[in-house]
Structure 1
Amino acid sequence: MTKEFDLGALLAERGAERYELHGKYLNHQLPRMLHTIGFDKVYERAEGAHFWDADGNDYLDMLAGFGVMGVGRHHPVVRKALHDVLDAQLADLTRFDCQPLPGLLAEKLLTYSPHLDRVFFGNSGTEAVETALKFARFATGRPRVLYCDHAFHGLTTGSLSVNGEDGFRDGFAPLLPDTAVPLGDLEALERELRKGDVAALIVEPIQGKGVHETPPGYLRAAQELLRRHKALLIADEVQTGLGRTGDFYAYQHEEGVEPDLVCVAKALSGGYVPVGATLGRDWIFKKVYSSMDRVLVHSASFGSNAQAMAAGLAVLSVMEDEQIVANARRTGDRLKSRLAALIDKYELLADVRGRGLMIGIEFGRPKSLKLRSRWTMLQAARKGLFAQMVVVPLLQRHRILTQVSGDHLEVIKLIPPLVVGEPEVDRFVDAFTAVMDDAHSGGGLMWDFSKTLVKQAVANR
């Protein structure tokens, strides 16, 4: 007789060991980092845009699991879809049949980009990018892929090859043949295209690292250049897609842009099941899968699994029924405008940018002598420490979870669940204002904490 597995009992017995277990068996630097900055919280429950700890304190989530919780945590419609698909006991992943759910999700997903025709389902954003890179190189017969400085497209070898941050690339060479071009620089793009060996340009319509938008008109002009040189445009919408920026896809903010391949992932399953999708033109897919002998030339063992497909269909249904995209646009405009109004008030606040509910808050060198000397001290130790100084009290004092937008960047990125509304905007702005007041007072706990960050930064050199 099979012994019953009691997950609840296991968590009750061993859940308190979470940080010790991670330090012993997983990435040992993660718990160390969390302890250092005071992020070693114990969250017990989550719903919508909020967490709760064991004492019942609620935390506002402005991170959404790096963007995966688009419709909020534990949305009842998505939960029910997952229960239903498990209860259906489908003959999933037989590998030699055609189940209905992948076709239904592909059909629905393609309605949001009607110029595209087919979908490949994988398991992550980086896998969606890998698929696009392979398809572009095979379809064009060319080896080289262009990407933009400071881009982030994933961490597997192919996607790492088009990653614009040296900190991720260092030590993992040799990578694929590739070339970085400055974001928005059409002359640099054309210069590379003239060499005749470029398969594609991959671009985030809004870069996740630093929250930098492509300049107005850039995507359309780049598309025209690429077509003239018989190369492809790949839009990486892994973070920006599915409503994050106030349109279903961020490339849709610019009229006439029709990428040849589009990568999506993260929010597609509501944060429940790993999933990725590469959408593309019919001729590209038919070139890759050119014969029955090539039917498995690109595949994924868990791609198109029933749980991911059911969750994806449920998420798209929720997005339509609850007008998620319109809410992201409306709420994002309110949040951005309220934060932008603070720029003149705080000399440490340099810029507020982004679209929808993808907002970057950048800090910069202050004018007053007292603050400037402290800023200089932080920058000498490690660029990005001031942004970390803001993130920590937002969590510790105001119970709001945010993130620094990238290594050595003085930018905080806000990518909350797309279900947030006016109360969450007000809560964040009030907390951020209080933290800024403290930072500009020249004293207080923030600058005391900076000493800890400086010591840590110096120790890690």
Structure 2
Amino acid sequence: MTTAEPASQPSASDGGFDLGALLAERGAERYELHARYLNHQLPRMLHTIGFDKVYERAEGAYFWDADGNDYLDMLAGFGVMGLGRHHPVVRKALHDVLDAQLADLTRFDCQPLPGLLAERLLAHSPHLDRVFFGNSGTEAVETALKFARFVTGRPRVLYCAHAFHGLTTGSLSVNGEPGFRDGFAPLLPDTAVPLGDLDALARELKRGDVAALIVEPIQGKGVHEAPPGYLPAAQELLHRHKALLIADEVQTGLGRTGDFYAYQHEEGVEPDLVCVAKALSGGYVPVGATLGKDWIFKKVYSSMDRVLVHSASFGSNAQAMAAGLAVLSVMENEQIVAGVRATGELLRSRLAALIDKYEMLADVRGRGLMIGIEFGRPQSLKLRSRWAMLQAARKGLFAQMVVVPLLKRHRILTQVSSDHLEVIKLIPPLIVGEREVDRFVDAFTAVMDDAHSGGGLVWDFGKTLVKQAVANR
């Protein structure tokens, strides 16, 4: 009996697909292609604020342009690049899993990689028992919402004001930013409660129709941490009323805040469901995971007839699972979480020391490498009038005025935490160290010096933003 030889792979020379040649030929059209075929407002926005860079390659916490200039990444792709770009261990795992030619996604077998990754993930949450793998953070949230509503038999989900849990219809229902929700109703039955307000939570629970509260232990929009004692007290209230606690750790999980999960900073907090995604694959492959208690999964998947009652076509695919296993291995072997605690404290403390120096620097907060820098109304008359002009045009413009020179003058990529907020959020790759802290603090100090001088690039750009904001009204 003979075994069939695998089919030979096409090459560029015999008419096969050549990605390198395609990029060399058409790569310079990137902004035009996006404007024509994708979201046309994105290139327009990037051109307006001067973010229309062309990055040629990336490694670790840095990008490089065609001229060889390096750019420090303090954004990590909105948190997905937890280990920086192109980590060699994760890259090798992906090459290995492709070379293995696994019988992936047959849908009628049980491959080993999903079980192995679930086992490794659950080791960091010993009170949880099972995992569902999807493809993104919003899918992880959708899974948690579905499971909570099913097992409790209740329709309503509570969330915290200013929360962000995703943009698909279910997760949009628990999104605390009206700008994202406008025009997409009707959504799921939901109610917002203030983060930290136990009385408001108790009032809603007394109505008897609440399935769960979903909460970010540290909110991504504005970088607001749940007050000390809130999570354990909320958990006790929820369980007393037969409702569930869902922890959204999509951005805060996997070491971001200096513990594996952010909820672990509070003693005794054991969420019924935990959502993770973003950094789980090292930024290579879309992946999401919902971790939960055994009884929840057994009630959802209560019989063989319900085996596919919740599933995802690409969920548990071999590439995502291999990447996840590699990421967890790197985190353990390179002691990533301990490094985050040390580097995060160094960065936060050095920035906090600047508050007394700059009157427009109001607060520095956060945990680990999730830091919010908030700006506020200055006291001096000259700066106060300029601040008032910006606020009248659009709240959040000053933070944008800081972000732009950080990139254009100092080659550091950051983001404004949310629309209409005077907050910059720092979520760099978890591998950054003292060198990157020095570079960022030095650049930030230079930009703040410029802003407080009342002139220079910061205020020149502010005039451009004001005109743009007024034109868009």
| Superposed CA offset, 1:242-283 (max 9, x none) | 000000000000000000000000000000000000000000
Instruction: For 1:266 and 1:32, locate their aligned partners in 2 and report how far apart those are by CA, in whole Å.
Output: 26
Deviation at 1:347, TM superposition (A): 0.1
Distance 1:458 1:207 in 2: 30
Deviation at 1:459, TM superposition (A): 1.0
1:54 partnered with 2:66: yes
Q: Distance in 1 between matches of 2:162 and 2:195?
A: 8
1:13, CA displacement in angstroms?
Answer: 0.2
Aligned residues: 457
Q: CA deviation at 1:427?
A: 0.3
CA-CA distance at 1:353 after TM superposition: 0.2
CA offsets, 1:50-93, max 9 Å, x none? 00000000000000000000011000000000000000000000
Cα offset for 1:424? 0.1
SS of the residue 1:215 aligns to:
coil
* 1:426 and 2:438 aligned: yes
SS class of match (1:361): strand
Give, in angstroms, the shift of residue 337 of structure 1.
Answer: 0.1
Q: Which whole-Å CA distance do the structure 2 matches of 1:175 and 1:113 have between them?
A: 31
Tell me, yes or no, if structure 1 residue 115 matches structure 2 residue 121: no
Q: Secondary structure in 2 aligned to 1:354? A: strand
Partner of 1:312: 324
Q: Secondary structure at the match of 2:425?
A: strand
Deviations 1:164-209 (A, max 9, x none): 0000000000000000000000000000000000000000000000
Question: 1: CA distance between counterparts of 2:388 and 2:60?
Answer: 40
Q: How far, CA to CA, are the matches of 1:444 and 1:63 in structure 2?
A: 25
From 194, 197, 206, the equivalent of 2:218 is 206
Deviation at 1:124, TM superposition (A): 0.1
Structure 1 counterpart of 2:264: 252
Paired position in structure 2 for 1:270: 282
Q: In the TM superposition, what is the alpha-carbon distance from 1:445 to its structure 2 partner?
A: 1.5
C-alpha distance in 1 between matches for 2:135 and 2:460: 43
Take 1:113 and 1:165, find their aligned partners in 2: how far apart are those partners?
Answer: 30
Structure 2: distance between partners of 1:235 and 1:215:
15
> For the residues of structure 2 that align with 1:460 and 1:301, how far apart are their CA atoms?
41
Displacement of 1:49 in angstroms is 0.3
2:51 counterpart of 1:39: yes
For residues 82-128 of structure 1, what are the alpha-carbon distances to aligned partners after superposition, in whole Å with 9 as ceiling and x for unaligned?
A: 00000000000000000000000000000000000000000000000
Query: What is the CA–CA distance in structure 1 between the aligned matches of 2:74 and 2:151, rounded to whole Å?
Result: 40
Taking the aligned partners of 1:11 and 1:344, their CA distance within structure 2 comes to 49
Separation of aligned partners in 2, 1:330 and 1:46: 25
- Cα RMSD after superposing both structures: 0.3
Distance 1:450 1:23 in 2: 25
Whole-Å separation in 2 of the counterparts to 1:71 and 1:321: 13
**Corresponding residue number in structure 1 for 2:383:** 371
Partner of residue 84, structure 1: 96
How does 1:297-336 map onto structure 2 within 5 Å?
297-336=309-348
Map 1:113-152 onto structure 2 (within 5 A). 113-152=125-164
Deviation at 1:391, TM superposition (A): 0.1
The correspondence for 2:302, drawn from 275, 290, 293, is: 290
After TM superposition, the score normalised by the length of structure 2 is 0.96
Task: Give the drift of 1:325.
Answer: 0.5
Deviation by residue 1:199-245 (Cα, 9 ceiling, x = unmatched): 00000000000000000000000000001000000000000000000
Deviations 1:16-66 (A, max 9, x none): 000000000000000000000000000000000000000000000000000
SS at match of 1:431: helix
Alignment pair present for 1:237 and 2:249: yes
Q: Secondary structure at the match of 1:175?
A: coil
**How far did residue 297 of structure 1 move?**
0.2
Runs of 4+ that moved beyond 2 A? none
Query: How far 1:302 moved relative to its partner?
Result: 0.1
Between the aligned partners of 1:159 and 1:448, the Cα distance in structure 2 is 39
User: Of the candidates 356, 359, 362, which is equivalent to residue 344 of structure 1?
Assistant: 356
Moved more, 443-452 or 165-174: 443-452
C-alpha displacement at 1:319, in angstroms?
0.3
Q: CA deviation at 1:304?
A: 0.1
Task: Render the CA deviation track for 1:284-303: whole Å, top value 9, x for unaligned.
Answer: 00000000000000000000
Query: What percent of counterpart residues are identical?
Result: 93
Q: Which runs of 5+ in 2 are unaligned?
A: 1-16
Cα distance in 2 for residues equivalent to 1:299 and 1:340: 46
Q: Secondary structure at the match of 1:244?
A: coil
SS at match of 1:279: strand
Q: Please give the alpha-carbon distance, in whole angstroms, between the structure 1 residues aligned to 2:248 and 2:154.
A: 20
Per the TM alignment, residue 448 of structure 1 is displaced from its structure 2 partner at its CA by 1.0
3-state DSSP of counterpart to 2:418: coil
| Inter-partner Cα distance in structure 2 for 1:321 and 1:60 | 25
SS at match of 1:327: helix
**3-state DSSP class of the match of 1:408?**
coil
d(CA) in 2 for partners of 1:138 and 1:277? 18
- Alpha-carbon distance in 2 for matches of 1:459, 1:291: 58
Identify the residue that residue 424 of structure 2 maps to in structure 1: 412
Per-residue CA deviation, residues 320-342 of structure 1 (Å, 9 max, x unaligned), is 00001111110000000000000
Query: Could you tell me the TM-score, scaled by structure 1's length?
Result: 0.99
How many Å separate the matches in 2 of 1:442 and 1:160?
A: 41
2:403 paired residue among 391, 413, 419: 391
Residue 273 of structure 2 corresponds to residue 261 of structure 1: yes
Tell me, in whole angstroms, the C-alpha distance in 2 between the residues paired with 1:259 and 1:459.
46
1:151 offset after TM fit, Å? 0.1
SS across alignment from 2:299: helix
Quote the Cα distance in structure 2 between the aligned partners of 1:428 and 1:448.
Answer: 22
SS class of match (1:439): helix
2:239 is the counterpart of 1:221? no
Give the distance between the partners of 1:385 and 1:443, measured in 2 at CA: 16
How big is the shift at 1:446?
A: 1.0
In structure 1, what is the Cα distance between the partners aligned to 2:399 and 2:458? 11
| Per-residue deviation, residues 146-176 of structure 1 (Å, max 9, x unmatched) | 0000000000000000000000000000000
State how far apart, in whole Å, the 1-side matches of 2:246 and 2:223 are. Answer: 19
SS of equivalent residue, structure 1 residue 413: strand
CA distance in 2, matches of 1:399, 1:188: 44
Instruction: State the distance in 1 between where 2:369 and 2:421 align.
Output: 20
Cα deviation, residue 356, structure 1: 0.1
Local SS of the residue matching 1:392:
helix
Deviation of the 1:460 alpha carbon: 1.1
